[in-house]
Amino acid sequence: MISQEKSVPFRKNRKVTKLSQRMGIAGASCVLDVMINDRSALVRDSAAFIVLLERIWKARDVDAGLVWSEIDERIRLADELRASGIRPYKGGRFRSTKLP
């Protein structure tokens, strides 16, 4: 798994703040699209959300490859547990923050 880096607070940045606001709007739009069952709008708004998220990563010098690797590792772990017949559950023996 990817090692956790020591968390260092970011300095405030107007560009990142604006991107974050736009990403929040895109995320809220995704929720609304699900609620009204609009598949094409969900695809469009989800793409906008991911693009904005990647722009924030770039502005904060976060390697997108590391994030996508972490997501792949979480999916791999979940698939491995599922294949073994282990159902992870909150408070259980195999509870992990690395599960999707």
Structural domain count, the chain: 2
Mean pLDDT of the chain: 82
Domain identity same for 55 and 19: yes
Check residue 27 and give left, alpha or beta (phi > 0: left; psi -120 to 50: alpha).
Answer: alpha
Q: Is residue 6 part of a domain?
A: no
pLDDT (0 to 100) of residue 9 = 63
Higher pLDDT: 85 or 15? It is: 15
Domain identity same for 93 and 67: yes
Q: How many CB atoms lie within 10 A of CB 9?
A: 5
Domain identity same for 18 and 54: yes
Mean pLDDT of the 6-23 span: 80
What is the domain extent for residue 89?
63-99
Q: How confident is the model at residue 25 (pLDDT cuts 50, 70, 90)?
A: very high
Spatial CB neighbours of 95, under 8 Å, sequence gap ≥ 6: 88, 89
Determine what percent of the chain is predicted with pLDDT higher than 90.
48
**Residue 45 exposed, middle or buried by CB count within 10 Å (0-12, 13-18, 19+):** buried
Three-state DSSP at 8 gives coil
